[in-house]
Structure 1
Amino acid sequence: MKRILFFLCFFLCSAGVAAIETPTQFIQNTVDSVISVLTDERYAAPEAQDEKYTQLAQIVDDFFDAQELSRRALGQYWRLFTPDQQNEFQTLFLDLIKQVYLKKSITYSGEKVLYNQEMLKSDLLAEVATTLIADATNTSIIYYMIRPTPSTPWKVYDVSVENVSLIKNYRSQFQSILQNNPPEKLLAILREKTNE
């Protein structure tokens, strides 16, 4: 159940839609997409788990602004990476997140999401506060969102679950490595982890 909870916390948003959605609409519409995959009988059989993982992984790819996520996770060290290293880091970082949170045994058990408040910080920045209700547990989740222009779709660059930031958690790990090592060292570690 804990694994399911964390999956829903991090990945209950994303998917392409024709019209430009508000931040809350972005989440509401794509919650349905995630639940649709999790409840699809085609993915119930053990031999269909790889395909279910592929579908959920695509949602994760669409969910995040990969560059913004990566830039904030690396903090001051981002500028030490070459453009090629930055691109590789973005790919490896998303692969790591998918590997950690997208377990093939994920199922849907009727969890509900309450959409509490949408906060537009500017035309380009927003926050959506939600509550995930699972059994008797209420979990506070805030999605931090960004878009490059007012005419482009929203993406997520951080998720805070009970005041624990995804970005800050990884930033501390990455910075502990980069304090005394070049970017290639972190990339090598991520390559190894994502190939496990």
Structure 2
Amino acid sequence: MKKLFLGFCLLLGALLPAHAALTPPDQLVRTVTDDVLEIVRQDQDIQRGNADRAIALVEEKVLPHFNFRRMTMLAVGRDWRQATPEQQARLVDSFRTLLVRTYSNALTQYRDQTIDFRPLRAAPSDTTVQVRTEVRQSGAQPIAIDYVLERTDAGWKVFDVIVAGVSLVTNYRGTFSQEIRSSGIDGLIDALERRNGELAGSAAR
């Protein structure tokens, strides 16, 4: 699972260009990947496991290109409508923090992975596309990691990631649904916040 998140993180860090609204989604990912990997290769602090440094990198280069509200809505599913605006805001914030910590922890494990990009199968008029990639590492099977993006007024935004055929938001939806059935929306928020605290504690050790 760590290898899956590592590959996931590497591509997440590739979504940076200043003119994202003018950049096709596949080019957006492809153009900046080498720059991001070069940063990680040269940053000894990240390679030694400096979580704060990795989080800063993720926040700078990843967050502007993800639609975390839509990701959270999809992960929570139909129960999203039961949540108050305040609960929705806390859910988005907690889920965002969980993903950022997960990606940043994986980023510290980067060593020699490479990324292959598949041709984009999309029409110019499409507003939702899937950018297909493979993460390769010596001695291991390639891992397919696909990014689902939507075209918005602010440029292309990722709202789901498919790792080895498994949708991130769909995978979380089952867990979130069980927590809501057991403890309600507030119970899910509490569970996410506890998990974020555990990840923060692990990174600090």
Match of 2:85 in 1: 83
Q: Name 1:98's counterpart in structure 2.
A: 100
| Residue of structure 2 equivalent to 1:25 | 27
Instruction: Return 5+ residue gaps in structure 1 as ranges.
Output: none
Partner of 1:8: 7
What is the TM-score normalised by the length of structure 1?
Answer: 0.84
Offset at 1:15? 2.0
Q: State the Cα distance separating 1:129 from its structure 2 match.
A: 1.2
Aligned CA-pair RMSD: 2.5
**Alpha-carbon distance change, 38 to 45 in structure 1, aligned in 2, over 3 angstroms:** closer
The equivalent residue for 1:179 is 181
| Structure 2 gaps, min length 5 | 199-205
**Higher mean Cα deviation, 90-99 or 52-61?**
52-61
Q: Distance in 1 between matches of 2:146 and 2:9?
A: 10
- Where in structure 2 are the equivalents of 1:51-66 lying within 5 Å? 51-66=53-68
Number of residues paired by the alignment?
A: 193
Q: TM-score under structure 2 normalisation? A: 0.81
| Structure 1 residues 115-142: Cα deviation after superposition (integer angstroms, max 9, x where no partner) | 1131337532111111111114211121
Q: Aligned residue for 2:127?
A: 124
Give the partner amino acid of 1:102: S
Measured in 2, the distance between the counterparts of 1:15 and 1:41 equals 18
Given candidates 18, 36, 39, the residue that maps to 1:37 is 39
Counterpart in 2 of 1:141? 145
Task: Give per-residue Cα distances to partners, 1:39-85, cap 9 Å, x unaligned.
Answer: 12453675955223321343342342111111110110111111221
Structure 1 residue 161 corresponds to structure 2 residue 163: yes
Structure holding more helix per residue: 2
